[in-house]
């Protein structure tokens, strides 16, 4: 029979302090996110409206069904380009929504941010959106309003493999794979950027504000001496009626978006993946308890099963090898009616009997992957692939166990086996950084490098090669290696504090989200909804290739 996870959570003073801490942290996140959504600020937003143009997020809201749009990459570029005036959200809005109930990927330039110019993070963000669209077979709508490459940073965006040109490469691949792409030219579309809408399957342009050309009027004058305005050079009438470059032209943003919606209503509906889904049920335990479960101190333990009891439908969980490899929890359950496989680090201290005598009892450290945990994880990932069950990874891992005992038990072999299984997994993988994500534990638990379809972080996440205290002490030792006794204790402490402050800032989930190591920072209470929407997107791709691995050490 299915096991019901019974909560033993104590709503004591510690619970209240944790709850208060994370609610306050979420409030700060929301305030910052609202500032980011203002783009280039009030003056630029008003200037956009004076031109008769809608703002980027207004366009997205009109395009998508009501309350269906989920934005990814909102924190992209956060505090990264301050010397250039900043690039809120990387100057582009990306995310998934529905149009007449169909999941789509939307990419919309924000012209209030440097006229929609592309920063390096802008390119990375759009490439990520295209990657999601290709993996999940999601139709794409591009709402183009961009001045092209941000020239002061052109060397970081133009020539390399995953730079500007890769976007058009992906245009071609998406179309060849049968993933429909629609583009609307709603502002400037210049130089290399002109290829994005025209390499899409169908294109629209808005009269008066939309323009598309390989070189703008200033460059044309400098290059060949011709004097001409941008609308005469590549406006809606020229490119739709004379050149035939664009397929449709419209009087306004609203008319353009409404036409796109009507065309998507006609789009053929493809096959869906065979993932099992049943009627949804709420967890037996209140989701709001999650705020009071996760410690503010990343070194403190907690019972991961308490988290699962608030994420899984009916708090039901079929656990796999419960008494084996106890620092890793594996099992199957349901989230909003979707069947899922759970791989989660257990952060509580585990006492496990390894033999018949009391002296053989071993204490394992929560959040650490031991040889038996890695072996169990690899086996479970293989089983979910065999059964066709999507995987959800809940990361709070400090790494693999080290030391002579772990080495003699084959930690490298078992760790490699788990990493191999995760890397070759073919079912959709969704990763959520709940707490720590350190070192090779990040990889084994399906970090960004291991092909997760969607990657999210709670405000409690901490992502780095190792914990802050260990890293700071290591860096200090390296810095002082050749100075010996000449360094005073005061200087050591001062250096250590500087190192710790820098390292702690880089472990903050805001730092990770700014660099798109995660797709979004999410409210823990929204986790079920976010996972469900992610699986709905993943189900748009019906193809599940055969699961196979290379040579595994057994």
160 within 8 A of 153, measured Cβ to Cβ? no
pLDDT above 80: residue 355: no
What is the average per-residue pLDDT within 298-303?
92
- Chain mean pLDDT for the chain: 92
* pLDDT more than 90, % of the chain: 80
- Residue 496: band (very low, low, confident or very high) from pLDDT cuts 50, 70, 90: confident
Q: How far apart are CA 539 and CA 532, in angstroms?
A: 11
Q: Within 10 Å of residue 387's Cβ, how many Cβ atoms?
A: 12
Q: What is the pLDDT of residue 390?
A: 98
**What would the pLDDT profile of 93-123 be if each residue is shown by its tens digit?**
999 999 999 999 999 999 999 999 999 999 9
Main-chain dihedrals φ then ψ at residue 207, nearest 5 degrees: -65, 140
- Residue 481: band (very low, low, confident or very high) from pLDDT cuts 50, 70, 90: low
Q: How far apart are CA 451 and CA 426, in angstroms?
A: 9
**What would the pLDDT profile of 391-402 be if each residue is shown by its tens digit?**
999 999 999 998
- The two tokens of residue 52 are 């008769």
What is the average per-residue pLDDT within 216-245?
92
* Of the candidates 196, 180, 197, the residue with the CA atom closest to the CA atom of residue 246: 197
Farthest CA pair distance, the chain: 92
- Residue 492: band (very low, low, confident or very high) from pLDDT cuts 50, 70, 90: confident
pTM for this prediction: 0.93
Q: Within 10 Å of residue 231's Cβ, how many Cβ atoms?
A: 16
Q: What is the pLDDT of residue 104?
A: 98
Residues in a beta bridge with 391: 341, 429
- Residue 359: band (very low, low, confident or very high) from pLDDT cuts 50, 70, 90: very low
pLDDT above 60: residue 484: no
What is the average per-residue pLDDT within 3-13?
94
pLDDT above 90: residue 358: no
Q: What is the pLDDT of residue 360?
A: 46
Q: Burial letters for 510-544: b for 16+ Cβ neighbours within 10 Å, e otherwise?
A: bbbbbbbbbbbbbbbeebbebbbbbbbbbbbbeee
**What would the pLDDT profile of 277-296 be if each residue is shown by its tens digit?**
999 999 999 999 999 999 99
């Amino acid at each position: 029979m299915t096991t019901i996870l019974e909560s033993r959570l104590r709503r004591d003073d510690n619970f209240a302090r944790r709850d208060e801490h994370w609610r306050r942290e979420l409030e700060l996140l929301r305030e910052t996110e609202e500032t980011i959504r203002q783009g280039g600020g009030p003056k630029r937003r008003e200037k956009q409206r004076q031109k008769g143009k809608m703002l980027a997020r207004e366009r997205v809201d009109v395009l998508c069904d009501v309350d269906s749009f989920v934005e990814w990459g909102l924190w992209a570029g956060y505090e990264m380009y301050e010397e250039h005036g900043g690039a809120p959200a990387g100057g582009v809005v990306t995310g998934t929504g529905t149009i007449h109930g169909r999941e789509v990927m939307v990419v919309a330039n924000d012209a209030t941010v440097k006229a929609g110019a592309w920063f390096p993070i802008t390119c990375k963000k759009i490439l990520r959106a295209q990657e999601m669209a290709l993996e999940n077979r999601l139709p794409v709508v591009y709402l183009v309003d961009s001045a092209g490459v941000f020239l002061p940073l052109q060397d970081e965006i133009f020539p390399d493999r995953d730079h500007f040109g890769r976007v058009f490469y992906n245009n071609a691949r998406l179309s060849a794979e049968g993933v429909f792409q629609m583009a609307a030219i709603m502002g400037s579309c210049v130089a290399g950027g002109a290829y994005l809408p025209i390499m899409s399957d169908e294109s629209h342009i808005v009269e008066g504000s939309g323009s598309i050309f390989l070189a703008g009027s200033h460059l044309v004058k400098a290059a060949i001496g011709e004097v001409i305005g941008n609308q005469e050079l590549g406006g809606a009438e020229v490119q739709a009626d004379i050149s035939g470059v664009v397929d449709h032209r419209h009087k306004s943003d609203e008319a353009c978006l409404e036409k796109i919606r009507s065309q998507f209503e006609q789009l053929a509906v493809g096959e869906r993946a065979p993932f099992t889904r049943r009627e949804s049920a709420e967890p037996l335990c209140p989701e709001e308890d999650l705020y009071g479960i996760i410690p503010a101190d990343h070194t403190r333990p907690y019972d991961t099963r308490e988290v699962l009891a608030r994420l899984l439908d009916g708090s039901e969980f079929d656990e796999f090898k419960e008494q084996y490899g106890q620092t890793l929890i594996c099992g199957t359950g349901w989230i909003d009616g979707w069947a899922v496989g759970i791989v989660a680090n257990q952060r509580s201290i585990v006492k496990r009997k390894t033999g018949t005598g009391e002296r053989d009892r071993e204490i394992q450290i929560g959040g650490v992957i031991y040889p038996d945990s890695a072996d169990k994880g690899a086996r479970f990932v293989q089983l979910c692939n065999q059964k066709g069950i999507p995987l959800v990874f809940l990361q709070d891992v400090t790494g693999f166990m080290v030391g002579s005992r772990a080495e003699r038990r084959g930690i490298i072999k078992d760790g490699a086996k788990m990493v191999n299984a995760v890397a070759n997994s073919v079912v959709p993988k969704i990763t959520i950084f709940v707490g720590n994500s350190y070192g090779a534990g990040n990889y084994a638990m399906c970090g960004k490098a291991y092909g997760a379809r969607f990657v999210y972080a709670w405000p409690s996440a901490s992502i780095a090669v190792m914990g802050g205290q260990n890293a700071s002490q290591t860096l200090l030792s390296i810095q002082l290696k050749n100075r010996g006794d000449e360094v005073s204790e005061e200087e050591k402490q001062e250096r250590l504090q500087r190192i710790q402050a820098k390292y702690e800032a880089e472990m903050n989930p805001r730092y990770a989200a700014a660099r798109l190591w995660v797709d979004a920072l999410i409210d823990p209470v929204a986790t079920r909804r976010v996972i469900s929407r992610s699986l709905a997107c993943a189900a748009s791709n019906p193809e599940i290739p055969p699961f196979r691995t290379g040579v595994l050490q057994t």
